[in-house]
Amino acid sequence: MITARKTFLPFALPLISEKAIEEVAAVLRSGWITAGPKVKEFEEEFARYCGADFALAMNSATAGLHLALESIGLCSEDAVLVPAVTFTATAETVCYFGAEPILTDVDPIYNLMTVETLKETIERECVFSKGNLVHKKTGKTVRALMPVHLAGAVCDMDALNSLAREYHLYVIEDSAHAFPATHKGRKIGTHGDFTVFSFYATKGITTGEGGMVTTRHAHFAERMKLMRLHGINRETYGRPGWYYEVVSPGFKYNMNDIAAAIGIVQLSEAEDLWRRRIEIADIYRSEFAQLPFLHLPLPAKDGDHSWHLFRVEVDTVQERMNRDILSAELHKRNIGSSLHFIPLYEHPFYQRFGFDRKNYPNADAMYKKTLSLPLFAGMTDSDIEDVVTAVKGIFSDL
């Protein structure tokens, strides 16, 4: 007999405090609901929190990735190194320019881009000629690499930065999962040339939809500021008079004050939200430590994991157990789970680039085994207990 929860427990939910709701109401009553003082305040607070020189709020991380690439002048003659295990946003923004995404494999433990996976890809697919890294198949110039801090474990940024310097590449960190992780003694947000955060509903902090780009480069910050609002050379809020000039065909990527009001409160609560995530990850790690056939995520190597996701790996045990069985059994008990991620080369769109699955043995192995269990700051003790009981029960029947 299976005991199921009365209500469905999704694998992620946002936790919005009354304070955030009050702040949103105040913005709604203020008469200024688009990009204005709240966005500015959020950017300043966020930059301070990360220790970043510049922070630019966007309406999504995808917009932030797009504008980071735009600001380095990416064009259709270029290519960018992207890990095979990520959400489509990382690579799709490269494709916006007609540029070539070159997929790297990931390490077998954290499923991250590493110097080893990069070197392997570069050796196989590129030549270094006249100071440029060139993609052999297309003749395109590799301009950047985009490490993804999957689940909230940060890539080895010193190693990636030094490889990037060697090949004259920009480093654009996809940090959608990593807020507010630390790495080598400091907060995420200052390691690469750009760090791009997501405030999507399920992330470490949320604004409903939203994103932020941090950078130390003043000229790139200026360019992103321009391009997030139609290429108009003056911001709307506080503009003296009606005059402005359009100096570039920009985008409509600005955050609004309603979202920023949520963001400011979420940021002030970030450490508490994070502490709860760490607590849940610790409980899972200790409760599931002895289960056979279930492999648990490790803490981050050079800092503190954000625990955006709790990704386990499930062994196949004849017909009795595998990742899909675990997911289905959890579902029978009214518990959600998810998969992060289907490797990009598996998707119909990315197949046009001719990726060969055999070049991605670690991504391929991950894809067969991985599953994300529920983990979010708003989980109650009894939600956690339900997951623990369910997982232990499922494995005890083996």
Query: Residue 125, Cβ neighbours under 10 Å: how many?
Result: 21
**6 is an active site residue:** no
Query: To the nearest whole angstrom, how small is the minimum distance from the Cβ of residue 93 to ligand PLP?
Result: 9
By CB under 6 A, tell whether 87 contacts ligand PLP. yes
Name which of 89 and 224 has its Cβ closer to ligand PLP.
89
Query: To the nearest whole angstrom, how small is the minimum distance from the Cβ of residue 270 to ligand PLP?
Result: 17
Instruction: Map the footprint of ligand PLP across residues 56-85, applying CB under 6 A.
Output: 60-62
Collect all residues with Cβ–Cβ distance below 8 Å to 156 and sequence separation of at least 6: 114, 115, 301, 302
Of the residues 38, 140, 187, 203, which is catalytic? 203
By CB under 6 A, tell whether 46 contacts ligand PLP. no
By CB under 6 A, tell whether 176 contacts ligand PLP. yes
Query: To the nearest whole angstrom, how small is the minimum distance from the Cβ of residue 198 to ligand PLP?
Result: 3
Q: Tell me how far apart the alpha carbons of residues 332 and 246 are, in angstroms, rounded to a whole number.
A: 56
Collect all residues with Cβ–Cβ distance below 8 Å to 256 and sequence separation of at least 6: 33, 34, 35, 39, 59
Name which of 86 and 322 has its Cβ closer to ligand PLP.
86
Identify the CA nearest to 85 among candidates 298, 368, 374: 368
Number of residues that bind ligand PLP (CB under 6 A): 14
Q: Tell me how far apart the alpha carbons of residues 66 and 96 are, in angstroms, rounded to a whole number.
A: 8
For residue 1, the 8-state DSSP code is -
Task: Figure out which of the listed residues 12, 57, 79, 89 binds ligand PLP, where binding follows CB under 6 A.
Answer: 89
Amino acid at 177: H
Residue carrying structure tokens 């060139």: 134
Name which of 36 and 211 has its Cβ closer to ligand PLP.
211
User: Residue 178: helix, strand or coil by DSSP?
Assistant: coil
Name which of 273 and 384 has its Cβ closer to ligand PLP.
273
Query: To the nearest whole angstrom, how small is the minimum distance from the Cβ of residue 39 to ligand PLP?
Result: 16
Query: To the nearest whole angstrom, how small is the minimum distance from the Cβ of residue 85 to ligand PLP?
Result: 9
By CB under 6 A, tell whether 181 contacts ligand PLP. no
Task: Figure out which of the listed residues 81, 148, 181, 335 binds ligand PLP, where binding follows CB under 6 A.
Answer: 148
Instruction: Map the footprint of ligand PLP across residues 191-230, applying CB under 6 A.
Output: 198, 200, 211
Query: To the nearest whole angstrom, how small is the minimum distance from the Cβ of residue 60 to ligand PLP?
Result: 3
Name which of 260 and 391 has its Cβ closer to ligand PLP.
260
| Per-residue interface string for the shown chain with ligand PLP, residues 107-146, x marking contact by CB under 6 A | ----------------------------------------
Query: To the nearest whole angstrom, how small is the minimum distance from the Cβ of residue 289 to ligand PLP?
Result: 28
Inter-CA distances, 204 with 207, 305, 316, Å = 10, 11, 32
Instruction: Tell me, rounded to whole angstroms, the distance of Cα 88 from its chain centroid.
Output: 11
Q: Can you read off the two tokens belonging to residue 181?
A: 């992780």
- Assess whether the previous peptide bond of 180 is cis (omega < 30° from 0): yes
**Under a CB-based contact definition with an 8 Å cutoff, are residues 196 and 65 in contact?**
yes
Collect all residues with Cβ–Cβ distance below 8 Å to 293 and sequence separation of at least 6: 314, 315, 317, 321, 395, 398
Name which of 85 and 335 has its Cβ closer to ligand PLP.
85
Q: Tell me how far apart the alpha carbons of residues 214 and 220 are, in angstroms, rounded to a whole number.
A: 10
β-pairing verdict for 182-183 and 170-174: unpaired
- Which amino acids are annotated catalytic? 203
Instruction: Return residues touching ligand PLP (CB under 6 A).
Output: 60-62, 86-87, 89-90, 148, 174, 176-177, 198, 200, 211
